[in-house]
A and B are shown apart, each in its own frame.
Chain A
Amino acid sequence: MLVEAGAWLDHRLGVGASIREAARHPVPRSSASWWYVFGSCTFAVMVLQFITGMCLATVYAPTADRAWQSLLYLNYNQPLGWFIRALHGWGSNFMIALVCIHLAQVFLFGAYKYPRELTWTAGVVLLLCTLGMAFTGQVLRFDQDAYWGLGIAAAIAGRTPLIGGRVVKIILGGPIIAGDTLSRFFTLHVFVIPAVLIAFVVLHLFLVLKLGINEWPMPGRIVRRETYLAEYHKMVTEDGEPFFPYAAQKDLVAIGLVIAALVVTAAIMGPIGPNGEPDPAIIQTVPRPDFFFLWLFSAFALLPPWTETFLMLTGPVVAIALLFAIPFISGTGEKSFRRRPMSVVLLVMTFMTIGILIYLGTYSPWSPHMEAWSGTPTPVDYVRGRTPLELQGAILIQAKQCRNCHSLGGRGGMRGPALDDTATRLTPNQIVRQILEGGGNMPAYGKNLSPAEVNALVAFLETMHPGDEPPARSSINPAVAPSY
């Protein structure tokens, strides 16, 4: 029955032969390796994302007043709605991770070299699309974190000279994040980027089939434009195996494992967000972008302020341009990573940098802590034995929200130095000047504090030196010689 129907279809369409041909196309024996499975895995997760995404789209309402509510409905009311959300959310993280591993593998194995430059270029487009999907998806969550992620993007775009304001308007659909913003991102996430994604996946796969899977790189086997194609042809005819089932087996097993891991992760970790309602009037929040943008966020937090604008605008452009350019910079020559030490170092450094930045962004509170001022009490040790004026200073540290940026007893923001031992570094006069004039990313409080308030703050801060360390003193007051 089935076979007959298949034959009927094939007779009309006539594609069976080419599919069979594609499945059977010979691949170098060496390429049937566990290292070569990441592309297929990414593809599989992408298909899963499409499926779960379609399920979610049936419930999701892309309007500002109902988006957040519809996610809550999925989480708490729709049977298994939470699980689909979890699969989709973690699927996105998995996909990014797999794309990065795939990219690293292709880079290490020199698979981007002649004649596969275009395959690499299409791959970079796919990487950007994946990140674009992750970003727009995060916005669709439309909670406070979404606001934040978007806020950063808008702030970056807004710094573009001359056209900054207009770019922000195009991204957000207006000067601020609102309902129009959401419909724009919904369109991007559901129509525009997926269309590009599918087109480039087709191109990418077509190229993989046409040019053949990269052989396992051997040190000393040099890629030359004149000879490579003939060599490759010889390799697959003499020492090749059909793609299916020879190489595909490993792909299928790996896909199964990845999907199982994804299902387990989703079941254990649950859906991502949504957290608080995106109400701009609510400022009691500590928003954080998702991890794949967290590293950008911490990079910008760490940069010296005067380089920020320049690097924010040129950095990503240069990085992406470099990625595209790689096969054109080193399109021939050695493929083996054993003979390309610089490439290995470059790759390891890049991943390490991003990893460290993500770590820093996760574990140190860069962002001003909106709730720190009210939530976190002054450490009791700083209350006991303090004079009335000093206690007033401690109250003002809370009231003036200095702890958004400064920590006491390890709690509070990290934009500025911890204040626990400030008196060992600054003399009272320097403290007064720091508070009144600010500087180095600290706002000047001169106009917002009364003299009595400044005196109280300084009195309190002057006590901020550990018992065994003397306070700082001005160099014009000589130290009093200890009397024996």
Chain B
Amino acid sequence: MAWRVGIAAVLVVSLVAGCDSLPGRPRESDRPISPSQVKSFARLYDENCAGCHGAHGRFGAAYELADATYQALVDDATLKRIISNGIAGTAMPAFAQTAGGYLTTAQIAILVDGMRQRWKTGRPLVDAPPYAGPDGDPGRGARTFAQSCAPCHGPKGEGGEKAPGSITDPSYLALVSDQSLRTLIIAGRSDLGHPDWRGYPPGQPLSAEQVADVVAWLAARRQHFQGAVYARNR
């Protein structure tokens, strides 16, 4: 009998004495918050962006946001606009509540600031073609392509040993924006080994005009689909 009383006494005493430090007591940090109150960059990024742009902004199926060259190229306003409104005609969704998404203006600002803090590590770019610019000329673009891109992508962009797969495939071109091509050519993708504007080949940086021309040449390969044409239907 005595041991039972003993156990009960120990229980009661420890309960009363330690009730603030009991493991079951909910901590302030467990308090559920509604999605619109999430303020941590890591959580916002993981829940909203990592799926396409990759964990920590690298090795995603979509563009490498953690690329230092890219972060140096693009400005805050552009990032904010793209995240808020998405990119029409592509898979990049609009995130702002005003555009039908789930993020508040404050959360989008947190995303932009967080990306800058984490990933904008390098010095400013010297002589880089600007993020956006006037349209180029496809005719001149063909020449630049042959010279700068064909070594890896093949003469018609159909793919080569160093870069498998066609970049002139009509389905591919139908799914990406011209800006995304421009971004890739200027800033490259360090995670998948794509050179930036200085590297086609090293020592012969592309000018803003040449970049615009190549984009125009690629854009001219874009075909407009009519009805359901499945290129690979066999």
Contacts and interface: CB of A to CB of B under 8 A. Distances in A.
Interface of A: 72, 75-76, 80, 82-83, 86, 143, 253, 256, 260, 263-264, 266-271, 274-277, 279, 282, 284, 371, 373-378, 380, 382-392, 394-396, 398-399, 428-429, 432, 450-456, 458-459
A455 B54 CA distance: 23
A452 B48 contact: no
Nearest to A68: B32
B24 A76 contact: no
A143 B33 CA distance: 12
A451 B175 CA distance: 10
A384 B47 contact: no
A398 B171 contact: no
Given A266-B24, A267-B24, A399-B91, A387 B159 contact: yes
A76 B28 contact: yes
Contact of B24 (A86, A383, A395, A455): A86
Given A391-B61, A451-B231, 14 more contacts: A82-B25, A86-B24, A260-B11, A270-B26, A276-B35, A277-B32, A380-B54, A383-B61, A386-B61, A388-B167, A399-B93, A432-B233, A451-B229, A452-B170
Contact of B232 (A371, A396, A455): A455
Nearest to A398: B51
A277 B60 CA distance: 32
* SS class, residues of chain B in contact with chain A: loop
Contacts of A396: 91, 175
B102 A256 contact: no
B190 interface: no
Interface string B25-54: 110100110110000000000111111111
The 3 A-B pairs with the shortest beta carbon distances in the complex, nearest first, are: A387-B165, A270-B24, A394-B61
Interface string B153-190: 00000010000111101111011100000000000000
Interface stretch (B15-23, B119-127, B129-137, B199-207): B15-23
Contacts of B52: 374, 377-378, 395, 398-399
A389 B229 contact: no
B22 to A, nearest CB: 5
B205 to A, nearest CB: 23
A388 B166 contact: yes
Contacts of B3: none
